[in-house]
Amino acid sequence: MLINASVLGLRISYDDKGYYWERDGLVDEVGESLTKRELFSLSGKLVGHGREGVGWDDRILPEADAFAREMVSRVMDHDSVKGVCDMKENESCVVWCAASSLTVAACIEVKENIVEDGSWKESERFHINLAELKAVIKGLNLALQWYFMHIELVTDSRECLAGSGLC
């Protein structure tokens, strides 16, 4: 006889050999690119139900400990969260700008390093040239906050700059 039940995110099964528990719902395969929300959800799924009833200061299972150490080791070897922060006033930068019907975006590059980026959701729909111009303004504002005095502006739309006096 086989009995299955789901309790608190765990699947509990019983057969002639005894009771067994496992996650209720498989951890999905990871796609090509994760959003921040998906990464946190995945982390919660991986650790959320490990050893129910164990206190926060109790030791985790050796398998989970080994997994955590491997993740930390890989992050230490290949950490993508890094950047340059020794900019000097009056240094030059490149401001990259782009827009779509949903958002405007800009990033600041100094010596081939991205030092800041941002995107802003547009609540109103604008003609694409106007949206591109808004991206340019956002990008220039970012650069001015860093006190850059020499700014190279790059956009994929020459028309958005034609009436602005910027080109």
Q: What is the pLDDT of residues 70-110, one digit of tens each?
A: 878 887 888 766 655 566 666 789 999 999 878 899 999 98
Residue 122: inside a domain: yes
Average pLDDT over residues 11-30: 69
Residue 64 inside a domain? The answer is no
Q: Which range marks the domain in which residue 21 is found?
A: 1-28
**Band of pLDDT at residue 41, cut at 50, 70 and 90:** confident
- Is this prediction's pTM over 0.75? no
Place of tokens 């985790």: 60
Whether residue 132 contacts residue 157, with contact meaning beta carbons closer than 8 Å, is answered with: yes
pLDDT of residue 1: 46
68 in any annotated domain: no
Domain for residue 146, yes or no? yes
In a domain? residue 70: no
User: Which CATH number do you get for residue 139?
Assistant: 3.30.420.10
Mean pLDDT of 125-143: 87
Residue 36 pLDDT exceeds 70? yes
What pLDDT does 167 receive?
A: 47
Cα angle vertex 36, ends 42, 115, to 5°? 145
Percent of the residues in the chain that have a pLDDT greater than 90, as a whole number: 14
Is position 40 within any domain? no
Task: Give the total number of structural domains in the chain.
Answer: 2
Query: Residue 130: is its pLDDT beyond 80?
Result: yes
Determine, yes or no, domain membership for 101. yes
Query: What was the pLDDT predicted at 24?
Result: 62
Angle at 6 between CA 10 and CA 51, to 5 degrees: 20
In this predicted structure, what is the pLDDT of residue 86? 60
**Mean confidence (pLDDT) of the chain:** 76
Is the pLDDT reported for residue 2 higher than 60?
no
What six digits make up the tokens of 71? 């993740």
**134 has a pLDDT exceeding 70:** yes
Q: How far apart are CA 107 and CA 155, in angstroms?
A: 11
Contact at 8 Å (CB) between 11 and 24? yes
Mean pLDDT computed over 41-58: 68
| pLDDT computed for residue 114 by the predictor | 84
* Residue 129 within a domain: yes
